[in-house]
Amino acid sequence: MVGFYQSFLIIALGVSALAADSLIDIDISLKEQLCRNRNTAVRKEWGELKRAERIDYIDAVLCMQRQPQQLSREEYPGVQNRFDDFVATHINYTFNVHLSGLFLPWHRHFIWLWESALRDECDYSGTLPYWNWPLWSENLKASPLFDCSASSLSGDGEYNPEEESISGGAVTIPRGSGGGCVRCGPFKDMKIHMGPFDRNIASFDKLPAPGFDYNPRCFNRSLNNFVSSNYDNETIVDALLGTADIADFQVVMDYWPARPDGVLGVHGGGHFSLGSTFQDLFTSPQDPAFMLHHGMIDRLWSMWQAKDEGNRRFALNGTNKILNPPDGRIVTPDTVMEFGLLDQPRSVREVMDPTGYRYCYSYT
């Protein structure tokens, strides 16, 4: 239920609080040593990568778009390639993993599965980059991510005079600078295959039309400096990292429960700064920037967790359903998350530490 706060420290039968603290310290030390021995993978900001490293990542994404899908075409007619397998999986679990207690843990594993697929299926030798929003929040087109160069994730779409501003809560979001098809950069010829979905998620109780239908169209973008500069700036990122508990962290991340002084958290700020393809709650992974956006979210969550290991590593809040309705189940470390054909079910406990489970990564 919205507003419920639950923190998990450690479950150990028959040990005192002092002993539990000691076990946490020992466990952290062992994990860190194991991770060092395995050569921790370091995820870097896109602008930190050399031009050749950016192109390697782009080539791996394009490779995923050429690989055959694994999901059934009969059951998922919109899935045309391996890239789309990830889009359809995101659609399938949208009602469980957004504005809920599963948002952070589920997406942590989702982007790790993407990173692993790039390596295993497309010979990618790097790590998943991330998009550090404040660096370019005043001028997205100047970002190496969106400058339309051969080493970018393409840029703005063509100007579409029919794009409209969006009204919500106390704020009206002005339209961006594009709104049409992307015609430059590595993804200028890209087609997206599923969606679009209505924004009115509060009225849904099951997956609405178009579901997994095949709806090919051009990749759309509309860079919006108003959104990025107001909702993904350094001040707000600092506020996120300065929150005292997981419930407050979630408020700044996603503004749930809703606050009257804004309509977007830093998560929504990233999505609404790139136009309609990225604004679609269900199919937003169709924009190649999705994984980098969620890399930044995971980075900030990792930093926040590490500030107070004993109280934050397993801190959770919310249910397993969108908007945390009364019939949702409270998320605990033992809650099981589904990933369809991408992976077997995983417990929340398995994904709470980037140095644990099969993970061994950090961020610059």
Q: What is the pLDDT of residues 195-211, one digit of tens each?
A: 999 887 766 678 889 99
- Average pLDDT over every residue of 345-364: 94
- Could you tell me the two tokens for 77? 């007619």
**Domains of the chain (ranges plus CATH)?**
37-363 (1.10.1280.10)
Q: pLDDT band for 12, please (50, 70, 90 cuts).
A: very low
d(CA 340, CA 345): 8
pLDDT at 28 exceeding the cut of 70: no
Contact 163, 177 (CB under 8 A): no
312 phi and psi angles, rounded to 5 deg: -115, -20
User: If we measure between CA atoms, which residue out of 85, 77, 94 comes closest to residue 340?
Assistant: 85
**Would you state the pLDDT for residue 199?**
80
Burial of 148 (0-12, 13-18, 19+ CB in 10 A): middle
Confidence check: pLDDT of 27 > 60: no
Q: Please report the pLDDT score of residue 305 as a whole number.
A: 98
Predicted pLDDT of residue 287: 98
- Evaluate if residue 4 carries a pLDDT over 80: no
pLDDT of residue 23: 37
Alpha-carbon 25 to chain mean position: 30
Whether the pTM exceeds 0.85: the reply is yes
Whether 45 shows a pLDDT value over 60: the answer reads yes
Decide if pLDDT at 283 tops 60.
yes
The predicted pLDDT at position 200 comes to 76
* pLDDT of 329: 97
Contact 11, 23 (CB under 8 A): no
Amino acid at 180: G
pLDDT for the residue 259:
52
**Residue in 189, 190, 186 with CA at minimum distance from that of residue 144:** 186
pLDDT band at 75 (very low <50, low <70, confident <90, very high): very high
Task: State residue 167's pLDDT score.
Answer: 79
Residue 240 DSSP symbol: H
Beta-carbon contacts of residue 71 (< 8 Å; ≥ 6 apart): 79, 84, 85, 88, 340, 341
According to DSSP, residue 109 is labeled H
Distance of alpha carbon 270 from its chain centroid, rounded?
10
The band of 349, judged by pLDDT with boundaries at 50, 70 and 90, is very high
Residue 77 has pLDDT above 50, yes or no: yes
Percentage above 90 pLDDT, the chain: 79
Q: Which two tokens stand for residue 141?
A: 């087109």
Question: Of the candidates 113, 125, 185, 199, which has an alpha carbon nearest to the alpha carbon of residue 156?
Answer: 185
Q: What's the rounded mean pLDDT across residues 55-74?
A: 98
Express each pLDDT in 116-142 by its tens digit: 999 999 999 999 999 999 999 999 999
Does 100 score more than 70 pLDDT?
yes
Taking the alpha carbons at both ends of the chain, their separation in whole angstroms is 35
Q: What is the mean pLDDT of the chain?
A: 88
**Per-residue pLDDT tens over the stretch 288-298:** 999 999 999 99
Determine the average pLDDT of the residues in 92-98.
96
Q: What is the pLDDT of residue 8?
A: 21
- pLDDT value of residue 356: 86
